[in-house]
Every structure is written in C-alpha cells, then in structure tokens.
Structure 1
C-alpha cells in the first residue's frame, strides 16, 4: 500500500499524468495489488461527502449563472474597500466572514458558500483574462491569497494578511466604480431571489440537521440516515423544478448549465476516499498506530507537538475523520499508561487532523478552492507548510501549560 501511495502522490505532485487520470488510478492499482476489490474501491467514488460537493457545485453554478455571487461580492467589497484601498483589510474581511460562517456549519459548506463571493471579487481583476501571462504579479499574488484564505480560514478560523498589493489593485477596486456596477445590476430578479432562497434553505438545513446532543436536529426524524449530501442534492434538485419566471417552461437550472461541473475534481475527491479506505483495509493504518507506542516514554513537553505532527502528516493522505478514528483510541490507551488526562493527547491529535493544508485531496474544502484555477499544488504546499508548522508550535506551547492547568494533569508544568 505504501508503494502505491508513493506512486499516486508522485503523479499528483509532478503532474506527469493529468490529474483526473491519476485520480482514477486507484480503480486499477488497488485491485491489481490486492489492496481492495474493484467493487469496494469503486464505491469510494460516490460517498456522502461527494454527494454534498456535487449538489453544492450545482448550486454554485446557479449562483454564478444569475450573477448573485457578483452582487454579494460587490456589497462585501464595499464594506471593506476603504479609500485608499487596503488590500489586507479586504482579504481579512473575506477570511473573517468565512471563519464566522464555518463556526455554524460544515467547513465544506462554508467554503462552497464563500468561494463564489471571493471569485466574484477576483473577476474584477486582470486574472480573469484568458492570458495569464499578462497578469501583474501583485494581482496574481492577491488571487492566490484570497482562495487560500477562504480555504484555511474555514478550517481553522485563521486570518490572512497580504502586503504590497494595495496600489496595484486600486484601479480595479475603486469604491465609486463598485457602486456604479452595483447600481447597474439593478434590483434582484425573481430568479435571483429563488436561487438565493434555495441556497439559504440549504444553509439552514445544514445547520439544523444535528444541533447539539441535548437539542436534536431534524436529522433524528430519519434515525441519522440523512446526511449533508442528502440535503445538498435535494436542494439542488429544486433548481430543476422551480420556474425562472423569465421564459415559459424554463426552470432555474437545466442540464446544459451543468456541463461546467468540474468532474475532474469529483474524481480527485473520490481518489482521496479510496486511499483512506485502502490505508485502513491494507493494514497500513495499524502499522502507523503501533509506531506511536514510543510516546509512553517521551518527555512530557514533546508529546503535544509529536502527536500533532503525526496527525497533521497522516491527514494529508486520508480524511480528517479517518485520521481521528485511527489515532484517538490509541491515544486514550497511551494516556492511561502515562497517567495523564486523555485530552492532553486527544486535543493535539484531533486538531492536528484538521491541518490538511498541503494537498487538494486533504479535504473537500481544498478541492473547492482548487477548482477556481487560481492556485496550484505548489501554492498550497508553500503556504500550508507554514500554517502547519505555526499550528504545531501553537499547540506545543498551549498543551503543556494551559492544557495541563485545565485538565489538572499531575505532570503539568
């Protein structure tokens, strides 16, 4: 399994083979190398999360078709677009909004909701031109920062900064021009209102499916059988039923408008789930787990960064949930042996599992950002590595100090 992983990720990183083709390689590599059966690996390519992404992509296409993302982008930009233009403030506004939204819904849902707004702002810049060679360096940098900021702020609630681009962006984001363009859009049409209503309904259903342990959401009515993907596809289906009130017989969406669906990204996400299943069924997960036994004799101050680093590494090759499921039971047993509070190990392990910043396959949120075309894998690695290190250092300081105090550990500093 490890050799197959190296093979697949080498193709992904070097792009020696087109990424969609590499994403399909588990379909023949896993059965031929005896990792999983053909049926099992094929089923990984239609997971509930993939259903969520598919439905969300259709909704995003509807938002884009009716220029709703442009209207939202202009309004948000007007709030944070002070004169003279402060590019870091504008970027901070988008990231802070995304971070706030992600507090109340699934990270993927937050990214799907905010990415069209971010790209709506970027469409005003020269990067939307077909000739990427003519893009000013500062503008290209801002585009990458915007997309990565939305992805990462949804994951950790972080904020991004950007310096040295305000003057370069001023001609494209002047406040008077923004107001003029907003006026040119006119009042919202019936179709825009209906698409926005469907999108709002989707957000509400996502937020209320499972509220808290004490306050069950509507999902309990279906005994947990309904997932986020169920809601996403259901609400997307409404777009093909509700009329657009523009032309008789026309609906808000039709299949011709869906031809722009990024199927290559769906394959990429499916490959990520296939790899996660392969890591588990091949026994590689158990081998990795046994390698953590050394923590029982490790210095107390080194435990948090080690656990976080291990989780942050594994999560790049498998899903966040799979990483947590793999590590948490073992960390609990190690904590018992060390006679410390289990959360001193579980917290850095669980948080480290969210640090999937380096590869598009790390989380569905990364894939949503990757579809914009503004970032490449090398951009994610360059920025994500710094975030991964910063997060590990932050936990390394907090867990032996504040963590030990909160959890009343005898081994605390």
Structure 2
C-alpha cells in the first residue's frame, strides 16, 4: 500500500480500495469488518471539518483572516514569516494540512511576487509590476524566477514557502481531528479501550499538544532562516532597519493593505461561516471535556460523539443562505434582491461539494483504519511488540520512546502519514501493554510523528503543493527538514515526559489496559 501510494501506480483513492480486496482474500478480516472501517464516526468527523473548510474557502473568509493578521505582524521579512507561520498553523488546527497548504501557498507566493519581481528585474521605476498592485490582483508582466534573484532573496523565497508547508503540518498536531494520523489514533484508541477511561478528548488533546506545537513553530521559523538566510538575519529583526529595508517594508505593507482593502466589507456569508466555524469548535471542545460535564452526557451513553456536532453544523450550512434575508415587500428592487438570494443559494451547495470535495482523502483515511485493524487482528502488532520487548526491554522506557519516534518519523518520509500511523499505532499499544507502560506513552509519538514529514515532496500533499511553486529544490526541503525533525522529536519526548506525563497520569499502568497483558505474555512464548 505504501509503495503504491508513493509511486502512484493508481490514483490515491483507487489504491485505498485494495484492503477491501486483499484482506478478506487473505483471511485476515472479513469484508464486512473491512468495509465498516471506511465509514466510522471518526471519518464523519473529518468529513465535517472538510465541508466547513469548503464553505470558508468559498466565501473567502480564510483570505480575510490571513491578510487581517498579516497587517499586524510587521513588514520585515522575519516577522512576515512569523505571521505566515502563526496564521497557517492556526488554520491547520481546524482543517486538514492539505487544505491549509492549498489555501495559504497562493497567498504567500503572490506576496513574494509583489516583493521580489522588482528586485528580479533590477530596474527601479520600471519593475515589471506596479508597486500599487496588491496580492489579490497582481498583474505582473513577468513571473517570479528565483534563479534571477540574489542569494539572500532566494533564501527569503525558500524560507517563506517552506514556512507554509511546515506550519500546515505542525498546526494539525494541535487538535485531534485535524490530521489523518490523529484520527487513526483516536479511532484505534476508542476501539481498544473504553473511551471514557482513556482521558483523551478534544479539549485534553489541545491542552497537552498546544505547548509543544508552539515550540515546533518557533523551531521551524528559526531553522528555515538560519538554513537559507543566515544566523545574523534572524537577529536583524530586532535592529534598526536600513534604508533599503524600510523601502522594502513599505512596499510589503502596501501590498498587504491594498489586498485587504480590496476585499471590501465583511459579507453576510463570511460572518455566517465565522459563526458556524466558532460554534463547531465550541461544540467539539465541550463534547466531553472531562474537567466539567459535556453535552454528550445529555444523551444515552455511547450513542453520540463529537462527529455528531460536526455533521449537524455541516447540514445547517447546506440550508443557511449566503445573502442576508430580508422581509420582502412589493417592488421591483425587492423582487430583484429576492431573485439574487435564491440564485446565490446556501453556504454549502451539493453541486459544488460534489465537484470539489476530496473524496480520495476520506478513502485514504478509511484504508488507514482498515490497515490498523488488520495489524491488530492478524497478530502482527503483537509479534512486533514481542520482538521489541526481546531486544529493547532492557532499555529505559524513555529510550524506547525515542527509538520508536525515530522509526516512525523516518518511515513517514517515504510513505503517507496515514499508512505509517495505521501500522505503528496498534504496535505501540501492544508494546506498552507488554512492558507495562501507560498505553499513551508510546502511541502518542506514533500519532504525532507522522506529521513531521518535512523532508520530501512525496511525503505529504502539503510539501508537494509548496514544491510545485518551483521556489525550492528537493535538497532544500530535505536539508532543512532533517534538522526540524530532530527538534520536533526532542520537544515531543520532552513534553511526554513532563507536562503530558502529569496530565494523563502516565506513571501508572491503568486498569483498562491490564486485561491485555496476559494474552500478550502468552503470545510471546
């Protein structure tokens, strides 16, 4: 499966059908059990986030939020990169990394065109692009060619675009429904143990993962600048700018401001999408927060989950109008406005959704669930757990965690993050049960690690989207990504042995996991 996904023998969605064929034929899982993995509540949770993302993209709310934020971060390239890092990570908290990169990469590239094309032509006063042209309506005579820029300017372009790829991946680690690996972790955990006893909810996941996510972001911000521009350039952000830098900042600020002003006042559709977006987040957080009774307790136990909230909001967006409703009166103007409302339709329209919805990602995620289930039911997870126990059990648990994290992060560079997570998360649960560690101690790194696929364009769609801009090479991506991988693994291990260790009480072996230890011990004999 991983090989087919990497070399794209079939389209990704077609390859995702293979478990339905292969697993029943090999006698691993029945076709009924395999098929149900493709449409569980976790997949509907992800589907709802993608539907909301489509509505946000359709009305342009993401662009308004991004440009509004960039107006406040300053015009120095260092702070501009920081701004892109922050806003891209924030958006990626709620929607997939692929969708985030697809939304933010064009904005970043258009801004670079506005700044760099004048430098590329080297003709002040005749830049090939009007200085007053904004991001949204760039009418440059030339296109950006990084080879015609100075070494420093090439470095800025590479750093800016890599920031978008890194941030879209990093932001997804902050919520449990933003990435495929997180969702596979959620589904595998809930199938294996009683959900109410694991301590993992939407809110607790954010509580333990947001602090290291910020450290991942700062690491990326520093690494890309040091790698492509130099150490001194980072600290120049705090120094008095030169005349050339002042001129550059004015041009950048003008481009951002003009692009924002061209958006005009906030439309009714944007306000509605913002309301539904915030309402969805509140419903997800308050579903079962553990620190206080959630709305899930109102219903029969086990009958609802946070997927219900996401689908409920999605359905509402299919009926909520794009234009502000009015009490219609007689008259030509009113009839014209009524006709306009009817022609615009709702925030979500099934025709647009059917054309733009990425069904292949849903199938890819379903294939990951099926593989994860097969790894457990076939006994492969238990067998590998026994081998790890034989060869690594003499090591402290923290070193076992580091080794497992290194293996997962390395593997995810050569396969999809979904396939890596679907294989290693069940194995991590078995390893924890075999050595008597808390189930979350080894499984969380296997859920977060696949998001650290920073090195190769093939590793994730976010990298591929940025690579397609032709502002950087594979070697640029790999040389920067390897250092960021090291930092992210370090911060993950540090978090899991400090803050998360206390938050989830990992110094104990919970009762809900103890019933598995006897079977594991016997299987290793």
TM-score by length of structure 1 reads 0.73
Query: Residues 400, 112 of structure 1: CA spacing in aligned structure 2 closer, same or farther, 3 A cutoff?
Result: closer
Query: Residues 282, 241 of structure 1: CA spacing in aligned structure 2 closer, same or farther, 3 A cutoff?
Result: same
Once the two structures are superposed, residues 117-169 of structure 1 have per-residue CA deviations (whole angstroms, 9 ceiling, x without a partner) of 6346336357999xxxx6645546633430332212442501122335799xx
Contact 1:320 1:353 in 2 (8 A): yes
Paired with 1:228 and 1:253, the residues of 2 have a C-alpha distance of 21
Match of 1:374 in 2: 466
Structure 1 position 211 matched with structure 2 position 289: yes
Paired with 1:244 and 1:79, the residues of 2 have a C-alpha distance of 29
Match of 1:122 in 2: 108
Match of 2:59 in 1: 66
Match of 2:347 in 1: 252
Aligned with 2:435 (options 330, 334, 337): 334
Match of 1:339 in 2: none
Once the two structures are superposed, residues 69-110 of structure 1 have per-residue CA deviations (whole angstroms, 9 ceiling, x without a partner) of 11111111112242xx31x433333434566788xxxx5558
Contact 2:375 2:423 in 1 (8 A): no
Contact 2:45 2:306 in 1 (8 A): yes
What secondary structure is seen at the aligned counterpart in 1 of 2:465? coil
Structure 1 position 296 matched with structure 2 position 393: yes
Query: Residues 274, 359 of structure 1: CA spacing in aligned structure 2 closer, same or farther, 3 A cutoff?
Result: farther
Aligned with 1:357 (options 442, 445, 451): 451
Paired with 1:396 and 1:255, the residues of 2 have a C-alpha distance of 44
Query: Residues 277, 52 of structure 1: CA spacing in aligned structure 2 closer, same or farther, 3 A cutoff?
Result: same
Structure 1 position 183 matched with structure 2 position 261: yes
The Cα RMSD (Å) is: 4.4
Paired with 1:404 and 1:62, the residues of 2 have a C-alpha distance of 38
TM-score by length of structure 2 reads 0.59
Query: Residues 148, 48 of structure 1: CA spacing in aligned structure 2 closer, same or farther, 3 A cutoff?
Result: farther
Aligned with 2:71 (options 75, 78, 81): 78
Larger Rg: 2
Match of 1:240 in 2: 318
Contact 2:2 2:419 in 1 (8 A): no
Query: Residues 38, 98 of structure 1: CA spacing in aligned structure 2 closer, same or farther, 3 A cutoff?
Result: same
How many residues are paired up? 376
Paired with 2:283 and 2:164, the residues of 1 have a C-alpha distance of 27
Aligned with 1:90 (options 80, 99, 104): 80
What's the offset of the Cα at 1:243?
1.8
Paired with 1:28 and 1:327, the residues of 2 have a C-alpha distance of 26
Structure 1 position 143 matched with structure 2 position 235: no
Paired with 2:485 and 2:161, the residues of 1 have a C-alpha distance of 21
Match of 2:32 in 1: 39
Name structure 2 gaps, 5 residues minimum.
114-135, 147-153, 174-211, 234-243, 324-336, 469-473, 508-525
